Amino acid sequence: MLQIGRSTVSAALQHYFQQKLVSTWSPLATAFNAPPGKRINFTREDVGLFRMPELRTFDGFYLLRDNVEHKTQELIAEAISPKRQRKIVDIFDELSDSLCKVADLAEFIRIAHPKNKYMQAAEEACISICGVVESLNTHKPLYQALSKVVEQGDILPTSEVDKHVAKLFLFDFEQCGIHLPEEERLRVVRLNDYILQLGQKFMNGASQPTILHSRQVPESIRNYFPTSGDNVIITGLCTNAENVQMREAAYRLYLQPLESQEELLKDLLLCRHELARSCGFETYAHRALNASTMERPELVREFIDEFSDQLRPRAEADFTLMTKMKRKESRQPNALTEIWDTPYFTSQLKRQSLEEQANEFLPYFSLGGCMEGLDNLLQSLYGVRLENTEMEPGESWANDIYKLAVVHENEGLLGYIYCDFFERSGKPNQDCHFTIQGGKRLPGGGYQLPIVVVMLGLAQPRWTGPTLLSPSRVDNLFHEMGHAMHSMLARTEFQHVTGTRCSTDFAEVPSVLMEYFASDPRVLRTFARHFQTHQPISEDMLRRLCASKHLFAASETQLQVFYSALDQEYHGEGAGAGRNTTEILKDVQNRYYGLPYVENTAWQLRFSHLVGYGAKYYSYLISKTIASWIWQTYFEANPFNRQAGEKYRSEILAHGGAVPSRKLVANFLQREMTPSILAHSLINEIDTDESKIKELIVSKI
């Protein structure tokens, strides 16, 4: 067989690098440090995207769509049959699995495939599957069959996991009001549709530039911004501008209140409130937190208040230091830190602390080196290795994709991770994780292997050297691989709750925990080596790098507390009153943030997270807190602790969302997850990190 593929190119490059660099990289590192070779196939038949024969061509999506529609009808008939011979939860999970295999795959291809025909066919498949789901949401006999089992029990023996997952399916059903009288159900459907439209319009408006007539902009600051005819255009906040007048002008002008955005946001919040009330919830926050780690908005508020009180003096110390920096830079002894100054001085102090010159850290973090570091860490913690695997013709959607087999030392193959790491035309500029196929137990006793994609936006490697990562890019890589390994290490009965398919306020815990490993000098020492000389990073550079990640942690965390509190307030008891959202913001900012509100601004009208994370913005803060607690308890003393890794896998990762996350955390940490304990965990981390960086800061200010 004649095939010129990545293996040929990698072999040639490996020889080149070994001759020139005298490298001792592992095979995995060598593969990721070499430019992926274009696969030219003369004789072998394409296997189809992700080895799916239907997807040898784009019109395979239409076949997949037709097949799943037929399968759906079969499963519905089985579920409502009086002669049903399987547990209802097994049938629902197979239904969910069949739909997700097409929908998740199509959604990924829709945004990632470089060819329009594939993108279009995938988008049409997405629309078709949405139609199938909408029809299921109105299928009363199907709903009644599930509801009866949840209320009265199944005709077959069921486990606690079965009951929990069945309740999750039922809640998903009732989101669309199928349990309500017909008139009320139709109202819920209309509200859902209207909320979707309002969210899309709000997000579009949030990203638009502010355009003002030149007469509305003082002449002294007009030259800071681009113009078009008689108009001045402000496209963002200019947070890194050295000129303080420019930072202030951008903040005040870009965040001017816009009546159309205010009306959209008020309508969105009101409709969400009405939707929640129609579905039997006190507020939208109560609806959003159902089956979450925090369970109730009252617990979220208690945590925010407890944490905020302890955080306030620590954040004030950060702002005092920023004021000192501002006075030194501006030579104005009475200057004060304003809200538009914080990103600038945070980045300034980080740059000064790193003493970064000409990206001095980049050569120590080649992509291959980082992948080798991940591989070493996973072997230490879980007995898992990452194996670069040759792909078959037609298996990938682009020429620069890597495929990793995740292999356990005893269990064998756990799943596959496709690495779509490099920039290309038309590819979304985001770092994210996609589930293509969820893991689940199969009837014959086997396991459906998980398949995921990790997408990054790295620069392409060159023939003169590998892709080099900045420290923040290293953090992102570890973060996204944390999501991927959550999917790989889960071993659940049902795909509906496998891996990252858990509550929003728990899904980020494994990925945030991986950032702790990426910030630990003991872990970094295992792979931070110069890509040319192979010399390890110096202890001084390592000290500066790790310390710089914690600069102004208190003030940055306080900002997240403020955002979380505002989101809860918008979706709480007063949401139905229709109060002006800026007035609410003023009250919340005065209570939870150390810098005052700036008159005639409305940054919440640019806060697009209110659409996708309505009443759930606190999730990252809680995930960070739980990850910190896990790190301090199990891994801070030894980040390579195999016993701790095995316990973490078996008691947390293996379950996905099959066990309530609050129960998982309490059992794993052997303490009840109270707001007070959560707050103390993160405060303890901030104080510990602060003591580490004091010497670094003093020498720079």
CB count in 10 Å sphere of residue 639: 20
Taking the C-alpha atoms of residue 187 and residue 270, their distance in angstroms, rounded to an integer, is: 14
Report strand pairing: 384-388 vs 40-41: unpaired
In a 13 Å sphere around the CA of 311, the CA atoms on its Cβ side amount to 29
Give the distance, in angstroms, between the CA of residue 377 and the centroid of all CA atoms in the same chain.
21
What's the DSSP call for residue 689? H
CA–CA dist 341, 315 (Å, integer):
14
In terms of Cα–Cα distance, which of 212, 218, 251, 215 is closest to 233?
212
Q: Tokens at residue 68, please? A: 């799943």
CB 648 within 8 A of CB 627: no
CA distance 86 to 89: 8
Q: Are strands 210-213 and 231-234 parallel, antiparallel or unpaired?
A: antiparallel
HSE-up (13 A, CA, CB side) for residue 630 = 31
Inter-CA distances, 242 with 4, 190, 239, 253, 283, Å:
51, 49, 9, 18, 44
From its phi and psi, is residue 405 left (phi > 0), alpha (psi between -120 and 50) or beta? beta
Q: Residue 203: CA atoms inside 13 Å, Cβ hemisphere, count?
A: 13
| Nearest residue to 691 via CA among 314, 307, 326 | 314
Q: List CB contacts of 328: < 8 A, sequence separation 6 or more.
A: 701
Cα dist. 101→352, 436, 448 in Å?
Answer: 49, 7, 12
Indicate the pairing of strand 451-458 with strand 412-422.
Answer: parallel
- Reduced to 3 states (helix: H, G, I; strand: E, B; else coil), residue 63 is helix
Query: Which of the following is catalytic: 480, 515, 569, 685?
Result: 480
Distance CA 45, CA 472 (A): 41
Active site annotation includes 338: no
| 11 contacts 38 by C-beta, under 8 angstroms | no
Q: Catalytic site residues?
A: 480
